[in-house]
Amino acid sequence: MMGRSANGLELIRLSLRRALMPVWVAVVLLLGSIPAAEAGCNLTSNSATSATIIMLGTGPANTLGVCVTKDAVLWGLYGTSNGANPNADAKNNLPMTANGQTYTSLSYTTSKASYSLVPVPIGGDTSQLPEYDLTINTLAGSGTDTITLWYASDCSHAANGCSGAGTTNTTFTINVVLPSPTVTAIAPSAGPISGGTSVTISGTGFTGASAVKFGAANATSFTVNSSASITATSPVGTAGAVDVTVTNSGKTSATSAADQFTYTPAPTVTAISPATGTAAGGTSVTITGTNLAAASAVRFGSTSAASYTVNSATQITATSPAGSGTVDVTVTTAGGTSATSAADQFTYIPLVTAISPASGPTTGSTAVTITGNGFTGASAVKFGAANATSFTVNSATQITATSPSGAAGTIDVTVTTSGQTSPTSAADQFTYAAAPTVTSISPSSGPASGSTSVIITGTGFTAATAVSFGATAATSYTVNSATQITAFAPAGTGTVDVRVTGVGGTSATSAADQFSYLGAPAITAISPATGPSAGGTSVTISGSGFAGTTGLGAVKFGAVNATSYTVNSASSITAIAPAGTGAVDVTVTNNAQTSAVTAAGRFSYVTTATQTSLASSRNPSEFRQPVTFTATVTAVSGTATGTVTFADGGSPIGSATLSAGVATLTISMLAVGSHSITASYAGSTLFSASTSPALAQTVNVPIDSVRLRSLQQTVSKMVAQNSGQALSGAIDDAIADGFSDGGGTFMTPGSTRMRFNFSVDPRDQDERAADRVGGGTDAYSSGLPGAPQRGRAVNRNRVDDAFAAIDRGEKKQAAPNWHEQKEWLLWADVRNSGVDRWGTTTTGGVTQASQASLYGQQLNAAMGLTYRATPSVLVGVLGGYETFSYTQQDINGKLKGDGWTTGAYLGWKIVPTLRFDAALAYSGTGYNGSAGTAQGSFTGQRWMASTGLTGTYKWAGFVIEPSAKVYALWEHQNAYTDSLGTRQGSYDFASGRASGGLRAAYTVASLDSGLMLTPFLGMYGDYYFNKEDANALVANAPASTPLLQGWSARATGGLGIRTAGGAALGFGAERGGIGGSIRAWTFAARARLPFDAR
């Protein structure tokens, strides 16, 4: 295509347009917007204004190419669908719709046709578009049509551009000579030679049609429905085929097989066979005539044949429809309908298809409904050879007739219409029947309530319609044969005739057909009217209607059959009563009827009295120990059956089923205490209920739970007493060490304990070892006033004081070093105590050793910190731990556990020879105990308070220490449930000891060996006191026995040994409980080796 501008940029753009033009064209071809095959230049126009082309037809097959040569026209043609100026920018847009740089086709529509115009470049040269392919899509008219297109007159193909705006402003007209009209189909394609057939003509180019011809004759009339449809009326013609043509704008459609119309002569019917048939139709009729080949209808009168077949131009086979009377058979073809004549007449014969009823009495007068066809105008109805008494034609298919009298037998019922009589068949047969007869019945009697099955014998039963007993119809009946019927009698009374009704009437009555209704039996009295529930009573039943009573269930006591019975007479029966309960009605059933229920027939069962006794397998029993309760139910006669319910204080605890009159219940969960146990028999249909007397069942606490409680109360007090002694002793020693100016000794053994003083200075040991003469003290010397001392007084604990030796040696020793007095003292104390397995008994004045039941060990360890606030006052705190394990053999018991302690103490030296002590401690202890099979764990909380006075004196070489002290304990132990399920209550007790006495020590020197020996002795009087809550588990349980109770004496003694080198050993023993029931030995030892750490 040419360029669209003269400037440089425009030339570049136009050059790109030329380069891309083939691509655009290819795209258009691929998308189908432009036909793939070019039509070529069928017409070339050198005009700048128009071109004329003759079109040969419609569709793509008839596309023609219009080519232009004028310079401005070659630039491009543009248009719209209706020919208006598109005012297209031809300078920058391609033909034909100015859609940018893409060639597009144009759809154009006029009143005569619709067109498609497609621009086509020649030979791939996209610089010019001389060809426009034109296609008629639809044709509505004929003649000449006009297509108006536009081009820009200021654009030039040769100059490759536009001199002006390039807007379309000049028309280019294509004059189209339209093709002739065409006829593509006609319907119908045949008609009678008389004309008048309405024919629809289909084709093209019909708009403005001026003529329609059938051969050479104009159509009688025609109407142009559209460009593609005309309706025309055929004129008169002669037999044969003619072409139907359409003329428009002087052009006439070409002839073809599609436009042929055939004139057909009318058919004729010359004969039919057969000429008669049943009114129901269905007769096959052969029709003979002429021009029958194209038959479109066959009619019998006005009714179409049920079906027909055209055999040839001269024969048709048709099936007659239902009808009546005489009708003409006609044939219709495209040439018309055959004329009627006598030759085509068909006569319908009446037909009887059913009668109802099909039988009646020989006396006649039966109203019979006759069903069939062709009854209209019926002139006669016959029953065999006899005319019906009367008849009425209800319709062409139904007649009601009254039968005449006739002989027994079967005859045909016929209907005559128009001289034609219906043919006979099984469907029209009517049977005259005689009345039935009853010759016998069996049985001839039955209950008044009916339902008796009766066999009736006689004749004429085949068509029986009713069976009656007197005036009442039988409940039901079955015709077994012509001579037998089985019927069920209705309810009734008296004697009645059994009659059978059939088609021929009702049987006559006679003695042979009589049936008697029997009344129900009645009971007026029974004797005796009572009896045991076990049955076996012989009862005489009086009444009426008993004769003939048979069967197992004929006599009943309530719903239960009598064990047996004997019919004595029509008024008496003797029956044996079955087992039963309560009051029941005696009934008799005879003739299928049961006697009415009345008070006269009431029989009462009397139950057998019972007694229930109860026994326990173990009484008293222990908690959780299985106990079996046995209930025995006895009766005067028979063995009771049923269920026994066991109750505790009225509350059920279980039930059991009787077996041979005995029921047992085993239970192990009765609570501790007394129980009132009863056994209640619920009774049965034969035996009365009864309840046993109450059984007092005692359930004790398990003995092992009692023993566990006793073990707890006995041993826990002993644990507390030992802990009290250990703690009070440890505090007493701590206070003594605290007031010792020398700081005490590092290790102090004692009776049942070992004590460690972490604040002692080893140099003090050396200094004390050097004190021999002149009032000095050795390692065991007492700190009591009056004892030989050097420098500051050195106070020691009680054991040290007991072992204190008075050094009588005269050896001179080096002067001791002076040490600053210590204010803090850290100490630890370990003590062991327990009960020996051996005890003593006296028999005949002779003391014997025996093995004790209770024995065990206990360890108490304590650690404390002392602060000496002033020379005469000190305070301290302590913490402790205890563990213990005791065994009591006689109850297979063991109690062990451990605990902790915390406390505080105070010491006050009132005067140099008198000291006051006070302390308070709290302990928490866990116990685990067992006694036999009982086990339990519990905790205890204990308080301890102690106080006392201690003095120190020297006399005649002896160091004497008098003292008075007391301590008290209070402990609460929590409640718990032991392993046997016994609830062990809480336990509270108090214990303590008050003591007074003195201790003395004396030192003896051994000159040969250089050893210093210091023996000591002590004697104390003790009073142990105890108090506990009285909460034993059961009465008479083993008592809690304190091991130490009341007054007793305690003796201590020992020996201290010191070598010349300063090493020392100490041994001590204690015997407690002197004068009491329990005595215990304790032992202690200590050793010391001084050294100088300087």
Tell me what the pLDDT averaged over the chain comes to. 82
Lowest mean pLDDT among 556-560, 911-915, 1062-1066: 1062-1066
Residue 370 has pLDDT above 80, yes or no: yes
What is the phi/psi pair of residue 900, to 5°?
A: -130, 160
**Band of pLDDT at residue 542, cut at 50, 70 and 90:** very high
Residue 410 has pLDDT above 70, yes or no: yes
How many whole angstroms separate alpha carbon 866 and alpha carbon 823? 8
Q: Is residue 159 part of a domain?
A: yes
**DSSP letter string, 106-145:** EEEE-SSEEEEEEEE-BTTBTT---EEEEEEEEE---SEE
Q: Are strands 43-45 and 64-68 parallel, antiparallel or unpaired?
A: parallel
Give every CB contact of residue 573 below 8 A, 6+ residues apart in sequence: 540, 541, 546, 549, 555, 565, 566, 567, 588
Q: What is the dihedral of CA 297, 299, 304, 306, to 10 degrees?
A: -90
Residue 761 has pLDDT above 70, yes or no: no
Q: Are strands 583-590 and 602-606 parallel, antiparallel or unpaired?
A: antiparallel
How many whole angstroms separate alpha carbon 314 and alpha carbon 375? 34
Q: What is the mean pLDDT of residues 422-445?
A: 90
Predicted local confidence at residue 685, as pLDDT: 74
Residue in the block written with tokens 């109805």: 381
Q: What is the pLDDT of residues 712-736, one digit of tens each?
A: 988 999 899 889 988 998 898 889 8
Q: Are strands 378-383 and 386-387 parallel, antiparallel or unpaired?
A: antiparallel
Predicted local confidence at residue 749, as pLDDT: 46
Residue 401 has pLDDT above 90, yes or no: yes
Given 666, 681, 700, the domain boundary residue is 700
Q: What is the pLDDT of residues 245-264, one digit of tens each?
A: 999 878 888 899 999 998 88
How many whole angstroms separate alpha carbon 406 and alpha carbon 389? 12
Q: What is the pLDDT of residues 87-134, one digit of tens each?
A: 999 899 989 988 888 889 999 999 889 999 999 876 555 555 688 999
Name the maximum alpha-carbon separation found in the chain: 196
**Band of pLDDT at residue 656, cut at 50, 70 and 90:** very high
Q: What is the mean pLDDT of residues 255-278?
A: 90
Residues forming beta bridges with residue 217, ordered by sequence position: 214
Residue in the block written with tokens 């010759």: 439
Predicted local confidence at residue 926, as pLDDT: 96
Cα-based angle 702, 703, 707 (whole degrees, multiple of 5): 120
How many whole angstroms separate alpha carbon 753 and alpha carbon 1069? 11
Cα separation values, 911 from 781, 951, 963, 1035, Å: 20, 9, 14, 55
| pLDDT above 70 coverage of the chain, percent | 82
How many whole angstroms separate alpha carbon 1027 and alpha carbon 1030? 9
Q: Is residue 1 part of a domain?
A: no
Cα separation values, 683 from 398, 676, 680, 689, Å: 82, 22, 9, 4
How many whole angstroms separate alpha carbon 791 and alpha carbon 709? 58
Q: Is residue 567 part of a domain?
A: yes
**Band of pLDDT at residue 1075, cut at 50, 70 and 90:** low
Given 539, 569, 603, the domain boundary residue is 603
Predicted local confidence at residue 1034, as pLDDT: 52
* Residues 200, 77 share a domain: no
Q: Is residue 241 part of a domain?
A: yes
Q: What is the pLDDT of residues 438-456, one digit of tens each?
A: 999 999 888 888 889 999 9
Lowest mean pLDDT among 194-198, 818-822, 947-951: 818-822
Predicted local confidence at residue 500, as pLDDT: 93
Residue in the block written with tokens 């039930």: 655
* Residues 412, 457 share a domain: no
Contact (Cβ atoms closer than 8 angstroms) between residue 987 and residue 713:
yes
Q: What is the pLDDT of residues 967-985, one digit of tens each?
A: 999 999 999 999 988 889 9
* Residues 967, 909 share a domain: yes
**DSSP letter string, 965-1007:** EEEEEEEEE--EE-TTS-EEPPEEEEEEEEEEEEEEE--EEET
Residue 480 has pLDDT above 80, yes or no: yes
How many whole angstroms separate alpha carbon 498 and alpha carbon 1067? 140
Q: What is the mean pLDDT of residues 328-357?
A: 90
Residue 15 has pLDDT above 50, yes or no: no
Lowest mean pLDDT among 69-73, 397-401, 1031-1035: 1031-1035
Token readout for 401 is 């007739």
Predicted local confidence at residue 821, as pLDDT: 54
* Residues 334, 273 share a domain: yes
Q: Is residue 854 part of a domain?
A: yes
* Residues 875, 760 share a domain: yes
* Residues 905, 799 share a domain: yes
Q: What is the pLDDT of residues 810-857, one digit of tens each?
A: 344 444 444 445 688 898 888 887 776 544 444 344 444 444 578 889
**DSSP letter string, 429-463:** EEEEEPPPEEEEEES-EEETT---EEEEEEE--TT
Instruction: Indicate the length of the chain as a whole number.
Output: 1094
How many whole angstroms separate alpha carbon 518 and alpha carbon 719? 106
Residue 991 has pLDDT above 70, yes or no: yes
Residue 740 has pLDDT above 80, yes or no: no
**DSSP letter string, 622-652:** ETT--EEEEEEEEESSS---SEEEEEETTEE
Residues forming beta bridges with residue 319, ordered by sequence position: 284, 307
Residue 1 has pLDDT above 50, yes or no: no
Q: Is the peptide bond before 443 cis (omega within 30 degrees of 0)?
A: yes
Range 342-357 burial, b when 16+ CB lie within 10 A, else e: eebbbbbbbbbbebee
Cα separation values, 46 from 53, 95, 130, 485, Å: 13, 19, 11, 119
Residue 144 has pLDDT above 50, yes or no: yes
**Band of pLDDT at residue 1066, cut at 50, 70 and 90:** low
Contact (Cβ atoms closer than 8 angstroms) between residue 232 and residue 244:
yes
Q: What is the dihedral of CA 869, 871, 877, 880, to 10 degrees?
A: 160
Q: Is residue 305 part of a domain?
A: yes
Q: Is residue 587 part of a domain?
A: yes
Residue 1021 has pLDDT above 50, yes or no: yes
Q: How many domains does the chain have?
A: 8
Lowest mean pLDDT among 56-70, 102-116, 557-571, 1057-1071: 1057-1071
**Band of pLDDT at residue 157, cut at 50, 70 and 90:** confident
Contact (Cβ atoms closer than 8 angstroms) between residue 563 and residue 577:
yes
Of 382 and 781, the one with more pLDDT: 382
**Band of pLDDT at residue 999, cut at 50, 70 and 90:** confident
Residue 777 has pLDDT above 70, yes or no: no
Burial class (CB in 10 A: 0-12, 13-18, 19+), 197: buried
- Highest-confidence range of 36-45, 445-454, 943-952, by mean pLDDT? 943-952
At 580, which CATH number? 2.60.40.10
- Highest-confidence range of 45-59, 647-661, 999-1013, by mean pLDDT? 647-661
How many whole angstroms separate alpha carbon 1088 and alpha carbon 87? 139
Give every CB contact of residue 74 below 8 A, 6+ residues apart in sequence: 68, 128, 129, 130, 157
* Residues 955, 845 share a domain: yes
Indicate the helix (H) or strand (E) that contains 798.
helix 798-803
Which residues constitute the domain of residue 192?
182-264
Q: Is residue 2 part of a domain?
A: no
* Residues 1059, 1026 share a domain: yes
Residue 792 has pLDDT above 60, yes or no: no
| pLDDT above 90 coverage of the chain, percent | 45
Given 124, 144, 177, the domain boundary residue is 177
* Residues 721, 653 share a domain: no
Predicted local confidence at residue 129, as pLDDT: 66
Residue in the block written with tokens 């020590």: 1001
HSE-up of 770 (CA within 13 Å, CB side)? Answer: 16
* Residues 785, 773 share a domain: yes
Q: What is the mean pLDDT of residues 633-643?
A: 88
Token readout for 695 is 């059984």
Q: What is the mean pLDDT of residues 9-25?
A: 39
Q: What is the pLDDT of residues 1045-1057, one digit of tens each?
A: 788 888 888 786 7
**Band of pLDDT at residue 890, cut at 50, 70 and 90:** confident
Reported pTM: 0.42
* Residues 811, 720 share a domain: yes
Indicate the helix (H) or strand (E) that contains 484.
strand 484-488
Can you say whether the dihedral through the CA atoms of 590, 596, 597, 599 is positive or negative? negative
Token readout for 581 is 């309960």
Of 1091 and 551, the one with more pLDDT: 551
Contact (Cβ atoms closer than 8 angstroms) between residue 899 and residue 923:
yes
Q: What is the mean pLDDT of residues 1075-1093?
A: 52
Q: What is the mean pLDDT of residues 319-333?
A: 89
* Residues 888, 930 share a domain: yes
Lowest mean pLDDT among 569-578, 886-895, 1038-1047: 1038-1047
Token readout for 42 is 């069928």
